[in-house]
């Protein structure tokens, strides 16, 4: 068995070019976020805490609010479906598409859809399903996976994209100018929007009061997916609910600023029913699929705060581990700190396989500081480490801690060890024939031993009068 955790292995193998893309993209995101929040608010922290408490309240009363949202949507002429598992969600969507005779559709970015691998499923079932967000479109052409919630192709540079467009016939000649790349995608996708018979979207928030779905995009692709098309399907995680429309004011002011440094995302849509009678174009049929897929398990766990997440990507941008390892190292569509908590919980049967993620953190706390809903991510990481320990999940590269335990619980042994260990600085421990020690040292550089200095300082310290 490998003595290296999968995330470490990935971080070690990432190319310099890819790492540079990730570091540049994520650090720019963090800077923009700080600048706009600091400029616009005297106390952005108070706003984050308020948003967190609204979400907490909603989650603690989710049965009530979900039912309310359902009733409001039905009253407005939308069809509401529920999907307990990923299988249920995929099949429900396929049935809806078949009932309307849909064979071609466009899809805007949805983390929920990524989570259940909706695209490959629909394509396998004979439905042409095209991603319309520029980044996700490139991911689809490459048969790749998104590596960031907001910037799915943060790991690619313009040359990668230009090569893909040429290979897939989106462009006729190689051109890596970002404006040209964008225009090529515009022309290619424009045709597809008009041919599509349905648009699939996610939702950023849902108001229990009115049933309004809030959908944000910068490109306008979600709006285009429901302008010439007769059917709109929204796949929504059940944790997306907020109590009232008024609450949108809190979350929208935080989402854009946290994600991209914008006060508002360019296109912000509020939808709670099919198109109005006087509109010549637009969906006559609106379907909302509320998906569980493990969320009730997370709500039951001691990490339920992670369900507050509004998918802004700020914790990914700021995380030193994410920057080094890149999103793909997290092996799910939720990368970075949020993914390190969410993925092992959400994909319950994959817990042992993903249990390295909560350990890949120095617990520096930056993720909590930038979180627009104040999720205590470092605390949750610790709870998951504890869960892994209690469930005896194999931990690659971990050294046996029993000798240390004996040492640390006996003051006299500890004192002796502190002084004696200085000798280690002169011993060639890097060649000591102890296998676990060798494995451990294979990935780390041991600093010089300074043990005992604190005790010495404390002893010689004069009491202040």
List binders of other proteins among 167-186 (CB under 8 A).
178-179, 181-183, 185-186
Residue with tokens 């494995």: 439
String of contacts with other proteins for each residue 148-167, x by CB under 8 A: ---xxx---xx--x------
Produce one character per residue of 107-135: b if its CB has 16 or more CB atoms within 10 Å, e if not.
bbbbbbbbbbebbebbeeeebebbbbbbb
Cβ proximity to other proteins: between 282 and 396 the closer is 282
Binding of other proteins by 212 (CB under 8 A): yes
Interface segment toward other proteins; rule CB under 8 A; list 93-101, 264-272, 328-336, 401-409:
264-272
Binding of other proteins by 333 (CB under 8 A): no
Binding of other proteins by 135 (CB under 8 A): yes
* Collapsed DSSP state (helix, strand, coil) of residue 84: coil
Scan residues 402-431 and list those touching other proteins (CB under 8 A).
none
Q: H or E segment at 70?
A: helix 62-75
Cβ proximity to other proteins: between 143 and 465 the closer is 143
Binding of other proteins by 210 (CB under 8 A): yes
- In the complex, least distance from residue 96 CB atom to other proteins, rounded to whole angstroms: 14
Interface segment toward other proteins; rule CB under 8 A; list 114-122, 257-265, 335-343, 406-414:
257-265
Residues 114, 133, 197, 356: which binds other proteins (CB under 8 A)? 133
Residues 3, 19, 23, 88: which binds other proteins (CB under 8 A)? 88
Binding of other proteins by 50 (CB under 8 A): yes
At a CB cut-off of 8 Å and minimum separation 6, what does 39 contact? Answer: none
Residues 193, 205, 330, 347: which binds other proteins (CB under 8 A)? 193
Produce one character per residue of 7-46: b if its CB has 16 or more CB atoms within 10 Å, e if not.
bbebbeebeeebbebbbebbeebbebbbebbeeeeeebee
Residues 214 and 245: beta-carbon distance below 8 Å? no
* Alpha carbons 393 and 395: distance in angstroms, whole number: 6
Nearest in space to 197 (alpha carbons), one of 122, 289, 290, 300: 122
Residues 3, 4, 23, 61: which binds other proteins (CB under 8 A)? 61
Cβ proximity to other proteins: between 6 and 29 the closer is 29
Residues 219 and 81: beta-carbon distance below 8 Å? no
The burial of 268, by beta-carbon neighbours within 10 Å (0-12 exposed, 13-18 middle, 19 or more buried), is given as middle
Beta strand residue intervals within 311-419, DSSP E: none
Residues 210 and 219: beta-carbon distance below 8 Å? no
Scan residues 298-317 and list those touching other proteins (CB under 8 A).
299-300
Interface segment toward other proteins; rule CB under 8 A; list 45-53, 96-104, 318-326, 434-442:
45-53
Binding of other proteins by 46 (CB under 8 A): yes
Tell me how many degrees the CA angle 215-313-372 measures, rounded to the nearest 5. Answer: 80
Scan residues 9-38 and list those touching other proteins (CB under 8 A).
21, 24-25, 28
Binding of other proteins by 267 (CB under 8 A): yes
- In the complex, least distance from residue 451 CB atom to other proteins, rounded to whole angstroms: 43
* Alpha carbons 270 and 206: distance in angstroms, whole number: 9
* Alpha carbons 93 and 233: distance in angstroms, whole number: 8
Total residue length of the chain = 465
Residues 35, 123, 264, 424: which binds other proteins (CB under 8 A)? 264
- In the complex, least distance from residue 179 CB atom to other proteins, rounded to whole angstroms: 6
Residues 147, 171, 260, 324: which binds other proteins (CB under 8 A)? 260
Binding footprint of other proteins, residue count (CB under 8 A): 97
Scan residues 269-288 and list those touching other proteins (CB under 8 A).
269-276, 278-282
Binding of other proteins by 74 (CB under 8 A): no
Residues 7, 11, 22, 66: which binds other proteins (CB under 8 A)? 66
Produce one character per residue of 430-449: b if its CB has 16 or more CB atoms within 10 Å, e if not.
eeeeeeeeebebeeeeeeee
Binding of other proteins by 268 (CB under 8 A): yes
Cβ proximity to other proteins: between 273 and 378 the closer is 273
Residues 330 and 10: beta-carbon distance below 8 Å? no
Binding of other proteins by 378 (CB under 8 A): no
Residues 10, 205, 224, 330: which binds other proteins (CB under 8 A)? 224
Cβ proximity to other proteins: between 194 and 454 the closer is 194
Binding of other proteins by 455 (CB under 8 A): no
* Alpha carbons 376 and 359: distance in angstroms, whole number: 15
How far, CA to CA in Å, does 334 sit from each of 95, 346, 465? 27, 10, 55
- In the complex, least distance from residue 242 CB atom to other proteins, rounded to whole angstroms: 11
Hey, which residues does 131 pair with through a beta bridge?
Answer: 107
* Collapsed DSSP state (helix, strand, coil) of residue 295: helix
Binding of other proteins by 189 (CB under 8 A): yes
* Alpha carbons 105 and 194: distance in angstroms, whole number: 10
Cβ proximity to other proteins: between 8 and 133 the closer is 133
């Amino acid at each position: 068995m490998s003595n290296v955790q999968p995330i470490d292995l990935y971080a070690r193998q990432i190319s310099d070019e890819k790492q540079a893309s990730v570091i540049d993209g994520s650090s720019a995101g963090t800077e923009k976020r700080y600048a706009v929040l600091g400029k616009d608010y005297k106390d952005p922290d108070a706003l984050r805490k308020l948003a967190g408490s609204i979400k907490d309240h909603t989650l603690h009363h989710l049965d009530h609010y979900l039912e309310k949202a359902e009733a409001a949507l039905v009253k407005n002429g939308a069809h509401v479906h529920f999907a307990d598992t990923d299988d249920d969600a995929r099949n429900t969507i396929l049935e809806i598409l078949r009932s309307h005779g849909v064979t071609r559709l466009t899809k805007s970015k949805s983390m929920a859809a990524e989570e259940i691998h909706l695209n490959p499923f629909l394509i396998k079932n004979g439905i042409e399903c095209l991603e319309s967000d520029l980044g996700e479109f490139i991911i689809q052409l490459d048969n790749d996976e998104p590596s960031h919630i907001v910037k799915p192709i943060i790991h690619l540079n313009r040359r990668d994209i230009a090569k893909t467009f040429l290979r897939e016939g989106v462009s006729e000649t190689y051109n890596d100018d970002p404006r040209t790349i964008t225009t090529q995608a515009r022309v290619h996708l424009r045709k597809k929007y008009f041919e599509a018979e349905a648009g699939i979207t996610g939702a950023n928030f849902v108001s229990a009061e009115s049933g309004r779905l809030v959908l944000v995009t910068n490109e306008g692709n979600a709006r285009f997916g429901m302008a010439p098309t007769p059917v709109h399907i929204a796949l929504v995680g059940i944790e997306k609910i907020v109590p009232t429309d008024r609450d949108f004011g809190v979350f929208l002011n935080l989402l854009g600023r946290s994600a991209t440094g914008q006060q508002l995302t360019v296109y912000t849509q509020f939808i709670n029913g099919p198109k109005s009678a006087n509109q010549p174009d637009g969906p006559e049929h609106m379907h909302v699929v509320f998906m569980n897929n493990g969320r009730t398990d997370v709500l039951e766990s001691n990490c339920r705060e992670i369900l507050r997440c509004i998918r802004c990507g700020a914790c990914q941008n700021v995380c030193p581990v994410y920057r080094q390892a890149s999103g793909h190292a997290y092996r799910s569509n939720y990368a970075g700190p949020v993914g390190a908590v969410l993925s092992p919980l959400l994909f319950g049967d994959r817990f042992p396989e993903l249990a390295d993620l909560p350990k890949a953190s120095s617990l520096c706390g930056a993720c909590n500081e930038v979180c627009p809903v104040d999720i205590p991510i470092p605390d949750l990481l610790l709870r998951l480490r504890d869960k892994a320990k209690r469930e005896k999940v194999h931990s690659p590269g971990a050294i046996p801690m029993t000798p240390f335990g004996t040492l640390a619980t006996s003051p006299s042994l500890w004192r002796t060890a502190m002084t004696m260990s200085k000798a280690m600085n002169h011993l060639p421990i890097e060649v000591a024939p102890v296998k676990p020690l060798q494995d451990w040292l294979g990935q780390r550089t041991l600093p010089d031993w300074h043990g005992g200095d604190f005790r010495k300082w404390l002893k010689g310290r004069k009491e202040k009068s």
